[in-house]
Every structure is written in C-alpha cells, then in structure tokens.
Structure 1
Amino acid sequence: MDTNHLLIFSDLLYSLYTSNDAEGINHDLLSYLRMLIPSPYASLLTADPDAPRFTFNGVYCDPADFTAAEQKYIDNYEDDEIQWMLHSKVSTVLRESDLLKNESRLHSAIYEKCYRPYHIYDTLQMSIVYERKFLGVITLFRTREDPPFSEDDMTLLKSLDKHLNYIYGRLLLKAPDALLPNSASAALTTERTDALIEKAGLTRREAEIVRLVMKAIPNAKIREQLHITDNTLQKHMQNIYRKFHISSRLELFRIMSGTDGAGTGL
C-alpha cells in the first residue's frame, strides 16, 4: 500500500469510527472505497437479519444514479448465481470473474436485467456478517474499459472486513454501545489510547505523535505542528512500532481503536 492509499485508508477508518450517522457512514464508506479501489460504481445493500424471510432493507450507491440498477437487483436477486453468499454466516470477499465464466455471467438473467446498460464487466464483493448474522453486501463494479480487479484489490477490501463487520453490527443490530454520541465515542477512544500509551512506556513526544496519528493527520502536518524533521518523525515512529510490537500505522490504528481482537491487557 503506497502512502496515498495509506492516508485514504486511515481517513476512512477515522470517519467510520467517529461518525454515528448511518447515512454519513454509508456515503463515506462508498466514497472512500472508490478512491482506494478505483471503480465507476459502488453499492451497499443492507439486510434485515431478523426478518422471517431474507429481506433487503436499504440501498446506497455511489454515484446515486446507479441506484436503479441495484433496485432491479433486489427485485431479481434470486436469479443471481452467486446469491449463496447472501446466506453465508461468515464474511466473504469474492471476485465474480473467479466464480463464473464470462459467457455465463455476461449473458445471465441478472446481468441483462440490471447491469448491461452500465457495461459492467466484473464485480468485487464483500458480505458484512456480525455474530453469524448477514447484514449486507458491498459491491464494487468495473466496466470493460477498466482493468480487472486484482488480488491486491481483494486483499485491500478483505483488510476492512473486521472493521465493517463490527461497525455495521453495532449500528444495525443496535447493540448497547451502538450510536454513542460523538463525544462519548471519542472519550472511549481517548481512554483506550491513554491506557495503551502508558502500558507501552511511550515518551511524551511519542505519545503526542500517536495521538496525532489517530486523528489521521498526515506526516507533513505532524512535523509542522511538532517542529521536527522527517528523519526525527520516522525515528519516533520506529520506536513506537517497536514498543507495540507492530510494523505499520494500520496495525497501530487497529490496536488503538480496539479492532485487533485484543484488549488493553491492563
């Protein structure tokens, strides 16, 4: 992941964890995903996990004029040859071209009814599942003019699954800590960050840098704010990584946001 993608990834996670407005989360998610994995169209279809029969209950598209295609999909999803993923109890990332031959998928009923007018050629999908409940599916679309989705694209989308499963699980299932006011959410994040900084034995300067990184502030702004050189910042970052036994900002964000599967250990 290059620097630009890393910053977009960081901004996306920060937006997801600090927003409590469902519409805002959906919009930011699709907008950032299209920057991370360039795609002419992206959609999020949400489902009601408690309905007696499988039911989609939300359609979000970027750009918005793609909504018509996804509305048609909802009306005809049972014709989809890979609709089995909608009933999976685990989060899955798949590339449609890996599962269906071009002849089959580009002449299927679902393609003809929904996607031919948009010249869709391939899709990359991830199901959202929380506590074995299917909550929705994110789909990125590319046309014949675009390069096919790559293994790197799949890996990048997969790297978001724990975050999205957790966020949408809390949001859609309305768990006790869901939809905290922004101030309460920030307070919980700050409390965890302070505890981990103390446990790791960071210096005052290292602690300042960690807090700025958690706000998705780019290196140039960190150097300017702290009046340090790039070489000094990189040395501090290496010391931070060493003390947390990690090797990247992404891992640091996961630890601080509590999405690495571990507690504070305190």
Structure 2
Amino acid sequence: MDSHTITAVILGIVEGLTEFLPVSSTGHLILATELLGFNAKEWEVFNVVIQLPAILAVVVLYWRTFVDVAKGALRADPDSLHFVRNVLVAFIPSAILGVLLKKKIDVLMETPAVVAAALVVGGVLILLIERLARQGEYQPVSKLPLPKALAVGVMQCLAMIPGMSRSASTIMGALSMGINRKTAAEFSFFLAVPTMFGATAKQLWDNRHELTSGAASVGWGDIAVGGVVSFLVSLVVIKFFVSYIGRHGFAPFAWYRIVIGAGALVWLLGV
C-alpha cells in the first residue's frame, strides 16, 4: 500500500472509533493529522466525507426502525410522524448555523489547540452532568416531547466547536433534561443521519471541481478506502456503545477526553 492508502486506513479507523462515542471524531481526526504530520488542508475534505459511511452504519444497524418509520409515515401513523418530526426539528438549528458560521468554523478546524481545549472542557461537563442529571425511564424517540427534541438540536450546535463532539453535545444535552441514557444515545444516532448527510453533501459540492477534475491530491480512491474502514469499525462501536453506557455511564469517556486533551495541549504548546 502507498502512503496515501495507509493514511486513509488510519483516519478511517479513527473516524469509526470516535464518531459515535462522546469524544469528538472531528477533534481526533484533526489531532491525528497534526500528530502524524499529515497535510491538514490536503485531508480536509476526506475527513468530512468519511463521516458519511460511519453514519450509514446507523442505517444498517437500525434498518428495521427506518423501514417501520417510513411505512408508518405513509400511513400517517402518529408515532412514525412524531419520530420524523423530532429528528427534523432537532436537525434545523445546526443546519442554519452551519451555513451562517461556516467561515468561522473552518478557522477553528485549523486550530488544533482549540480542539484539545474543547476535549478537556467537554470532559469536565460530562462529569458534571453525569453527577447531577436525573435519568428518566427509557422511551422511544417518537415519544420525546417536541420542546425537548428542539433543545437537543440546539445543544448539537456546540459541536461546531471542533473537539466538543456532536454525540457528546446531543447526549449530554438530552441527559440534562432527564432523558434516559439509551434514549439519548439512540436519538443522537438518528440525528446524525441528516446532520452528516448535509455536512458531507455541502463539502462535496464546495469541492466538486477539484474532485471531479482529478486535481485533488486525496481523491475518490482514498475516500473509498477510508469510508469502508470507517463503516466497518462503526458497526462494531455502535453495538458496543449502547451496551456499555447502560452498565457504566459516560464518566470513562469524560476522563479519556480530559487526559487526551490535556496531553495534546502540553504537546502543542510545548509546555
């Protein structure tokens, strides 16, 4: 394998391992790129696009839910319509802010120290919410009240700060409102589908000329390799995550964030 293929595999593994854990996949990709000496600008499109295959792992694992919702929506079934409503309403805040703040977000994406600091701050917040939040009973996503679904969507906007983590922002936001851990994790998974489809589509559109002309140094072949790896690893991680948090909660991920973030800050700042 050439160096580009090896890099694609490494970043695909990083993406698959971290997309659904509350540790920030984008933050890990940025730090991995910096740590291993890859050209960050060169791999920028790749790092966004390989999130889509990871999201497809959710569709594969929860295919029955998606099929049932689609069938129910066609029949105007209330539960199915409420499921669609909750996911779309939660998606809207980040869709709007993502367009309005794209240039500012791009600047933050190029600042590894921001990622490291966000990992630490997010880890501390997870520990506080785990300690203070009261967990409710499990309920399907379709049963969540509309105001809570919207509030989770607003919390997702925190993930525009690289290193904060989309899954951490949504899950911790849900927990702070008394939503059950499993419900919070599943809602975060389902919300990832339109969110990451939208982010990937925009990135591909913005870079369409470079990709279609073959001028990009990281092309479709590298994206395909990274995407397959990301998808396969994500399948394993999602199954592990739902089972794990039911027994152990989120504190181990919080301490991991704090240690990795603090270590990265020391390394980046040369302390």
Quick check: TM above 0.5?
no
TM-score when normalising by structure 1:
0.25
* Structure with greater helix share of residues: 2
TM-score when normalising by structure 2:
0.24
* Structure with greater strand share of residues: 1
For the pair shown, the structure with the greater C-alpha radius of gyration is 1
